[in-house]
Amino acid sequence: MNHLPRNVSIDWLRFQVSSYNSSMLRQIQRTLDLPFEKKLHQLGDVRDTNFLALNKLWHEVYEFQGSLIGTRYPDSGKEDMPYRHFVDLNGGTLSAVTFDKLIALLGYCQSEEEFIANRIDIALDFNPGDPRLSARNWESFLEDNLLSGYRLVRRVSNCGRTRTNRPGATVYLGSRESERFVRIYDKVKDGKQYDRLEIEFKRSRALWIMQEISKSTVNEVPRLLNGVVCSQINFKTRSEDTCFFEGYKFGPVDVPAPTLHLDIERSIAFMEKQCATFAMVEEYMGSERFDKFMRSLLAAGQLRMKPRHRTILDNARQLLGVVASSVLILLLQSPDVSASGLSCPAPVPLSFEIKQKFPIDIVNPSPSEEAYFNTVGDGCFEVNSGLNFQRLCLPGMIVNALQPFVIITLGMKFIFS
C-alpha cells in the first residue's frame, strides 16, 4: 500500500497550569519566543482590572495574533495558594512555534503543581483526492453501521461564507461537546488546495496527547500526531466503499478513551450543571406549570429512550442489585452459622443497628462496630461496574459504590416531588 503524503500540524492548543512560581508567565513567553503584548482595558469600569478568558477572570492577559496567555494571582491574604496561568494558542500562532519549543513548553508546565489540558486540535493535510475527502458519503457510512465510534454526522455547505480557504462543504463527525470531534473539509493553504482531516481533542484525551508530546523527541512528534489522527477513523468492514481510507491511514496511535465508573454518572453530572436552567424555567413558569411540564417531558423521554439508554440503566440496576445482595451476605455470614439455617452473628453490640446506620454513619464505624465487622470475616466481594471488576472490602468502599444510586434516588425525588 502506497500511503498518501500528508502535512502534520497542530491547529489549536489550550491548557491551564497552577504554580507557586510568580515568574512562570514570563518563562512561557520566553519559551514561545513571540511578541505577546499586554492587553489594556479600553471600556467599562476602570476599577475592574480583570479580563475574561476561558470563562474565567484573569488579572493579566497578553495577546499575539488572537492567541492569549494570562495569569491570576492568589487571593489576597492567601500566600499559600498557587498562581494560575493559561495558554490559548490558535493555528496561526502555532505555525510559528517549532516542535522543540512545544515540547519544552508542555514539559515545563506539566512539571508544576497542577496541569489541566483543555483542548488540542491536530490536522492532516492531503493532496486533493478524487473524489475529495469531504465529498465521500460519510452519512451512508454511519447509516450502514460501517463507521465505528460516532453516532452523529453533519454536513454544512461553505458556499457564501467569507472564509475563502474553505470551498465545498465541511463534514462533522461526533458531538462538539464530546472529547473527540472530527472535521473534514477542503483547505486552501498558500494558494494550494488540500483535503484536511482535523480532530479536536478535549479533556482526558487532550491530556494524554500533551503528555506524549512532552515525552517525545522533535523527530517523533510528527509521527505521533499523524498516528493519533489516523486512529480516529475506523471502518468495521472492508469493502469497495471503505477501502479508500487505507491510503490515508498510516501509523495509527490509539488514544485511551475516557474512563467512567458508570455511564449514568455522566448523565447525573450533566443535570447538576443545568440546575440554574431548571431554577430559571421554574421561576418563569411557576411551580404548578413547571411540574406539569417536567412530567410531560419525562413521559416523552421514556418514549424516546434508545437501546443505549436501556443498557446504561440495566447496568446501573444490576450493579445496585449486586452491591445490595453482597452487603446482606456480608452482614449475615458468620463462622458459627448452623446447618439448620442462618442466624445473626454474635456477639452484636447493642448500639449497632444496621437498618438505622446504613448507609451513612457506617462509613465511620465505632471501635465496637469495627470489631464486629472483623469477627464476620473477610467479607470481600467483586462488583462489575460495567468497565472492570472492583474489589470491595471495607464498609466505606461499599457506601462509595452505592453513592451514585443514593444520589439518583434523593436527587430525583427532590427535583420532581
> At 347, is the pLDDT very low, low, confident or very high (cuts 50, 70, 90)?
very low
More confident residue, 189 or 365: 189
DSSP state of 255: P
DSSP states along 7-24: EEEEEEEEEEEEES-TTH
What is the percentage of the chain residues whose pLDDT exceeds 90?
47
* pLDDT tens figures, 393-414: 655 555 555 666 666 676 776 6
- pLDDT on residue 102: 97
- In this predicted model, what pLDDT tens digit does every residue of 261-299 receive, in sequence order? 456 777 887 888 888 899 999 999 999 999 999 999 999
Which conformational region is residue 351 in: left (phi greater than 0), alpha (psi within -120 to 50 degrees), or beta?
A: alpha
Write down the pLDDT at residue 9.
96
pLDDT at 416 over 60: yes
Q: Are 81 and 75 in contact (CB under 8 A)?
A: yes
Average pLDDT, the chain: 80
The label of the residue with cell 458556499 reads: 159
Query: Is the Cβ–Cβ distance between 370 and 331 less than 8 Å?
Result: no
**113 is written with which cell numbers?**
503543581
The reported pLDDT for the residue numbered 351 is 44
Say if residues 127 and 5 touch (Cβ distance below 8 Å).
Answer: yes
pLDDT at 134: 93
Closest CA relative to residue 234, chosen from 135, 142, 156, 124: 142
Say if residue 326's pLDDT is above 90.
no
Q: How far apart are CA 84 and CA 79, in angstroms?
A: 13
- 389's enclosing H/E stretch is strand 389-392
Summarised one tens digit per residue, pLDDT across range 45-60 is 444 567 888 878 899 9
353/28 Cα distance (integer angstroms): 59
Q: Region 77-97: what's the mean pLDDT?
A: 91
Would you call 325 helix, strand, or coil by DSSP?
A: helix
Residues 234 and 242 sit within 8 Å (Cβ to Cβ): no
Confidence of residue 305 (pLDDT cuts 50, 70, 90): confident
Say yes or no to pLDDT of 165 above 80: no
CA 221 to chain centre: 23
Q: Closest Cα partner for 89 from 41, 22, 34?
A: 34
- Comparing 325 with 310, the larger pLDDT belongs to 310
Smallest CA-to-CA distance from 13 within 2, 28, 1 is with 28
Whether residue 33 has pLDDT greater than 90: yes
The pLDDT tens digits for 215-240 are 999 999 999 999 999 999 999 988 88
Mean pLDDT of 183-190: 92
Q: Are 52 and 61 in contact (CB under 8 A)?
A: no
Q: Which pLDDT does position 54 carry in this prediction?
A: 80
Q: Give the C-alpha separation, 97 to 111, whole Å.
A: 20
pLDDT bracket for residue 253 (50, 70, 90): confident
- What is the structure's pLDDT at 103? 97
Query: Considering only CA atoms, which of 325, 343, 153 is closest in space to residue 233?
Result: 153
Confidence of residue 32 (pLDDT cuts 50, 70, 90): very high
Q: What is the pLDDT of residue 344?
A: 45
Q: Report the candidate in 101, 43, 105, 96 with the shortest Cα–Cα distance to residue 69.
A: 105
Can you tell me the distance from the alpha carbon of 101 to that of 89, in angstroms, rounded to the nearest whole number?
A: 13
Under a CB-based contact definition with an 8 Å cutoff, are residues 389 and 382 in contact? yes
Alpha carbon distance 289, 285 (integer Å): 6
**pLDDT at residue number 375:** 61
Q: Which residue has the higher pLDDT, 65 or 400?
A: 65
Least confident of 100-114, 322-336, 344-358: 344-358
Cell 496561568 sits on residue? 85
Per-residue pLDDT at 374: 63
Given a cut of 90, is residue 387 above it in pLDDT? no
**Taking residues 11-20, what's their average pLDDT?**
96
DSSP assignments along 226-272, one per residue? HHHHHTT-EESS--TTTGGGGTT--S--PPPPPP-S-HHHHHHHHHH
286: left (phi over 0), alpha (psi -120 to 50) or beta: left
pLDDT value, residue 177: 87
Gap between the Cα atoms of 80 and 22, Å rounded = 12
- Specify the pTM: 0.64
Q: Which residues pair with 67 in a beta bridge?
A: 64
Answer whether residue 304 shows pLDDT above 60.
yes
**Band of pLDDT at residue 15, cut at 50, 70 and 90:** very high
> DSSP E strands: which ranges in 67-224?
67-72, 83-90, 114-126, 147-148, 153-157, 169-173, 180-189, 192-202
